[in-house]
Amino acid sequence: MNDLPSASLIIERRIRGHLPVTRFSVSEVGSVMVAVPDQHQSRLYRLGRLAHTGDWQEIADFSVETLTAWDIASSGEAFVAATNDDLYLFVGGRKKRLLTDRRDVYVAASITAAGDAIAVASSDMLMSAYAVTLLSADGKELWAMDLPVTLTCAQISPDGSMIAAGSEEGLVYLIGSDRHMIWQFDAEEPVAEVCAPSADQRVIVGMRSGKVAVLEDGAKLWESEGNGPVVACAGAEDGIVVIARDAGEDEHTVECLARDGSPLTAYSAPSALTSVACSHDGRYVALSCRDGSLHVMEVQGRPSRLMDAQEGTALYENAVSMANRGDYTDAVPALIRSLELDPRNVDASRKLAETAHSLVRESLRLAEESLVNGDYAESAHRLHVAWENCVYAPETASNVLAMRERVVDSMLGRARELSDSSAEEALDLLNVLLQVDLANTEARELLGRLEDEITDRLVREAEEALSSGRPSDAVRLLEQARDRSSSDRIGETLAKARCEEALAEGLALYEARQYPQAILRFRKVLSIDPQNAEALRHIEYAEKIGQDDALFDRFSKLE
Q: What is the CATH number of the domain that holds 140?
A: 2.130.10.10
Give the span between the Cα atoms of 315 and 58, in whole angstroms.
29
Same domain, 171 and 281: yes
Compute the average pLDDT of residues 486-510: 85
Burial-class residue 97 by CB neighbours within 10 Å (0-12, 13-18, 19+): middle
Kind and range of the H or E element at 557? helix 533-558
Identify the band that residue 531 occupies on the pLDDT scale cut at 50, 70 and 90. Answer: confident
Q: What type of residue is 406?
A: R
Q: Within this chain, do residues 332 and 393 fall inside the same structural domain, yes or no?
A: yes
Amino acid occupying residue 405: E
Split into its structural domains, the chain has a count of 3
3 located within any domain = no
Considering the domain architecture, whether residues 359 and 480 belong to the same structural domain is answered as: no
pLDDT at 166 over 90: yes
538 within some domain? yes
Task: Say whether both 22 and 130 belong to one domain.
Answer: yes
Q: How confident is the model at residue 101 (pLDDT cuts 50, 70, 90)?
A: confident
What does the pLDDT read at residue 301?
54
- Which helix (H) or strand (E) segment holds residue 505: the answer is helix 488-511
Task: Examine residue 462 and state whether it is found in any structural domain, yes or no.
Answer: no
Q: End of a domain among 298, 316, 335?
A: 298
Identify whether 152 is part of a domain: yes
**CA distance from start to end of the chain:** 67
Average pLDDT over residues 4-33: 85
Main-chain phi, psi angles of 212, to 5 degrees = -130, 135
Give the count of alpha carbons within 13 A of 167, CB side only. Answer: 22
Give yes or no for residue 319 having a pLDDT over 50.
yes
Residues 320 and 291 in one domain: no
**328 and 395 fall within a common domain:** yes
In-domain check, residue 453: no
Residue 333's closest CA among 127, 105, 85, 29? 29
150 within domain boundaries: yes
Average pLDDT (502-507) is: 89
Residue 325 and residue 292 share a domain: no
Higher-confidence position of 332 and 543:
332
Q: Are residues 374 and 257 in the same domain?
A: no
Residue 4: pLDDT above 80? Answer: no
Average pLDDT score, the chain: 87
CA distance 279 to 264: 16
| CA–CA gap between residue 386 and residue 351 (Å, rounded) | 17
The whole-angstrom separation of Cα 446 and Cα 246 is 49
Residues 247 and 288 placed together within one structural domain of the fold: yes
- pLDDT tens-digit series, residues 437-457: 888 999 999 988 888 888 888
> Whose CA is closest to 282, among 334, 315, 234?
234
Q: What is the pTM of this model?
A: 0.57
Say if residue 254 is in the same domain as residue 365: no
Range of the domain at 347: 305-439
- Write down which residue in 298, 318, 341 finishes a domain: 298
Provide the 10 A C-beta neighbour count for residue 110. 28
Q: Which of 258, 273, 298 is the last residue of a domain?
A: 298
Helix, strand and coil content of the chain, in percent to the nearest 5, comes to: 40, 30, 30
What distance in Å separates the CA atoms of residue 417 and residue 430, rounded to the nearest whole number? 12
Claim to verify: residue 55 and residue 184 sit in the same structural domain: yes
Q: What is the pLDDT of residue 556?
A: 47
CATH of the domain at 408: 1.25.40
In a domain, 419, yes or no: yes
Q: In this predicted model, what pLDDT tens digit does every residue of 282-310 receive, in sequence order?
A: 889 999 999 999 999 887 654 445 556 67
- When pLDDT is cut at 50, 70 and 90, the band that residue 255 belongs to is confident
Point out which residues pair with 146 in neighbouring strands.
131
| Same structural domain, 226 and 368 | no
Q: Are 89 and 139 in contact (CB under 8 A)?
A: yes
pLDDT confidence of 130, banded at 50, 70, 90? very high
- Torsion over CA: 511, 512, 516, 522 (sign): negative
Q: Report yes or no on 544 lying in a domain.
A: yes
